[in-house]
């Protein structure tokens, strides 16, 4: 029986994957086995399958994730529109990529399907992948646009140190909360004075203070204050480079005893990436007849695959004219867009992995 991406998508949306992606992994493995493909699951929980051509050629990778954010939103269908958690992020793209993988018949090179278990949380699966691909198509809801770039996302905390004293005699201490005023001013001036230049596709970076904590008693001068910041980066900034630059800036622009450190995490931060718009992968997808070339507005595991040519592509949208779609209670995808995405990817794979003309 031929693979039916819409039937698969319906089963996928009905399968909760907000707490664990195990059931989704089992669903994908079952679907692939039914089509004569024997996938493997590695130690990091990635589901992998491969096809090879007879001649040498590029190694292309189709990637998306099996997990979703909480809470689970039940499946509902109204005509050609499917609602439910993961409908577009990213079970719609998943159905399209699986369909394109199964339909592909490479004459040359290799094609790998790599599905990760934890993109919405730790990205430990993607961080463990060692694929050496020559090009990556990462499934996310892009409205069938070919997204060639995305900002990175870092986070960390500025810790300000002071000295406790009685609030009746504030000059006897050093008020860490009051020092936060100068620190926040320095944060606001960082990109203007030290940040990377505006990127041609992604625009400028952002640095946003999001959480402030300090003090423990109303009548005591606080000796500690922390300011957590969210960084959306653009190339060529790296997480380590940002940490160093912000600390240098704080030293120069404030008198506060403070330091910035990135949040500890077991996997690398998602850094910004940008793929040249004139590369073969982009050209093949555009020739297959989809939308526009542009940036993707959310951070994705695509950053782990760059600097190899990497694009983000798939059915569904992050937002529409009414507001949020992905990660929202009204998450949805249009069924014809899933079929169209599968056809586009299949056509692009044919041109890239087919016999040279």
Going from the N-terminus, what domains does the chain have, and what CATH number goes with each? 5-151+272-353 (3.40.630.10), 152-262 (3.30.70.360)
What percentage of the chain reaches a pLDDT higher than 90? Answer: 96
Q: What is the mean pLDDT of residues 3-13?
A: 98
Query: What is the per-residue pLDDT across 270-301, written as a single tens digit (0 to 9) for each?
Result: 999 999 999 999 999 999 986 899 999 888 99
Over 90: is that where the pLDDT of 356 sits? no
- Could you confirm whether 107 is annotated as catalytic? no
pLDDT-above-70 percentage for the chain: 99
C-alpha to C-alpha distances, 185 to 122, 190, 226, 227, 306, nearest whole angstrom: 32, 9, 15, 12, 34
Kindly name the residue from 10, 89, 119, 140 that is annotated as catalytic. 119
The answer to whether residue 119 is catalytic is yes
What are the Cα distances from residue 220, in Å, to 5, 161, 334? 63, 14, 58
Q: 67, 120, 271, 331: which is the annotated catalytic residue?
A: 67
Nearest alpha carbon to residue 315 among 92, 82, 101 = 92
Average pLDDT of the residues in 70-98:
97
């Amino acid at each position: 029986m031929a693979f039916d991406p819409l039937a698969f998508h319906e089963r996928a949306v009905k399968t909760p994957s907000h707490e664990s992606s195990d059931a989704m992994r089992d669903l994908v493995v079952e679907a692939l086995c039914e089509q004569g493909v024997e996938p493997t699951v590695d130690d990091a929980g990635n589901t992998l399958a491969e096809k090879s051509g007879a001649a040498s050629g590029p190694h292309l990778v189709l990637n998306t994730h099996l997990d979703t954010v909480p809470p689970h939103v039940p499946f509902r269908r109204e005509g050609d529109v499917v609602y439910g958690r993961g409908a577009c992020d990213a079970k719609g793209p998943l159905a399209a990529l699986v369909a394109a993988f199964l339909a592909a018949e490479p004459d040359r090179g290799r094609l790998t399907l790599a599905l990760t278990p934890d993109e919405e949380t730790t990205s430990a699966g993607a961080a463990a992948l060692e694929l050496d691909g020559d090009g990556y198509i990462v499934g996310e809801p892009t409205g069938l646009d070919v997204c060639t770039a995305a900002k990175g996302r870092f986070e960390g905390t500025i810790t300000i140190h002071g000295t406790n004293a009685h609030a009746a005699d504030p000059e006897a201490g050093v008020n860490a909360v009051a020092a936060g005023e100068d620190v926040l001013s320095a944060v606001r001036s960082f990109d203007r004075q030290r940040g990377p230049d505006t990127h041609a596709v992604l625009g400028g970076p952002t640095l946003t203070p999001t959480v402030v904590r300090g003090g423990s008693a109303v009548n005591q001068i606080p000796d500690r204050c922390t300011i957590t910041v969210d960084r959306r980066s653009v190339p060529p900034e790296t997480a380590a480079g940002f940490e160093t630059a912000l600390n240098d800036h704080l030293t120069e622009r404030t008198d506060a005893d403070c330091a910035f450190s990135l949040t500890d995490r077991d996997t690398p931060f998602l850094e910004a990436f940008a793929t040249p718009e004139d590369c073969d992968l982009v050209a093949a997808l555009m020739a297959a007849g989809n939308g526009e070339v542009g940036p993707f507005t959310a951070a994705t595991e695509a950053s782990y695959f760059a600097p190899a040519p990497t694009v983000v592509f798939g059915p569904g949208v992050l937002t529409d004219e009414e507001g949020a779609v992905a990660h929202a209670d009204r998450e949805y995808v249009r069924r014809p867009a899933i079929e169209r995405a599968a056809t586009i990817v299949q056509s692009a794979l044919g041109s890239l992995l087919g016999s040279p003309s």
